[in-house]
Structure 1
């Protein structure tokens, strides 16, 4: 699936290794998508409001605000409310996945994630397919 070169994804993650891995995945599998990065939820919220990315990939276990708090702020802002948000977390219990769905996330991936599954999820969300 070809993705419009103008599409942008914001990745909010505090772990440098995960950030480097995501950069590599996008470079190799989604080269036409611009990947923006933020190491804190607060910075991610600022970047999201300023750039209005097509998709946000949000780690749940962030140190300043957890992913649920950040998601609530995204949903309460009329500018960022329409942006789909993909949750990524090491928490893999059914209750964790249900909590994310109830919080309004567009999808949920557990760490470690499969590169193909992540790539497909990003492509679908960027194409507007649930």
Structure 2
């Protein structure tokens, strides 16, 4: 059985993006356990239960969107310390600024540049935000 050093929760409703993320973690971040949730509601529940080291949160989720989920995470004493990496296909400068102003620790646009994404994940895990 593998021993993981860190845990990351990925909240994403698109199965292709989820499969890509599993591939990226297996190849580039093998010591990190990747957990998944298909909705913000499930992600919030898992975040409270597991207390991952990092949450990767899609902005365009059905139901609660990423901004609403981030606000709930920030207001919860159990999860407010967990850095959250926002992801979205929205790549305008205004989208990036909005995400940073709302409190995301970082924001990566889709499609991902794998090297930049991997470096961002490592930086957020190492920063201990």
Report what 2:57 is aligned to. Answer: 58
Corresponding position of 1:107: 106
Residue deviations 1:21-64 (CA, integer Å, cap 9, x gap) = 00000000000000000000000000000000000000000001
Q: Give, in angstroms, the shift of residue 6 of structure 1.
A: 2.5
1:3-28: CA deviation from partner (whole Å, max 9, x where unpaired): x9331000000000000000000000
Aligned mates of 2:4, 2:44 — CA distance in 1 = 23
C-alpha distance in structure 2 between counterparts of 1:51 and 1:6, whole Å: 14
Aligned to 1:67: 66
Unaligned 5+ segments in structure 1 are none
- Structure 2 unaligned residues grouped into runs of 5+: none
Structure 1 residue 100, shift from structure 2 partner: 0.6
Matched positions, count: 127
Residue pairs, 1:13-24, within 5 angstroms: 13-24=12-23
Task: Name the SS for the 1:14 alignment partner.
Answer: coil
The 2-side partners of 1:46 and 1:59 are apart by 16
* Superposed displacement of residue 129, structure 1: 7.0
Partner residue in 1 for 2:121: 122
Partner of 1:42: 41
* Distance in 1, Cα, partners of 2:120 & 2:18: 18
Report runs of 4+ in structure 1 exceeding 6 Å deviation. Answer: none
> What root-mean-square deviation, in Å, do the aligned CA atoms of Structure 1 and Structure 2 show?
1.3
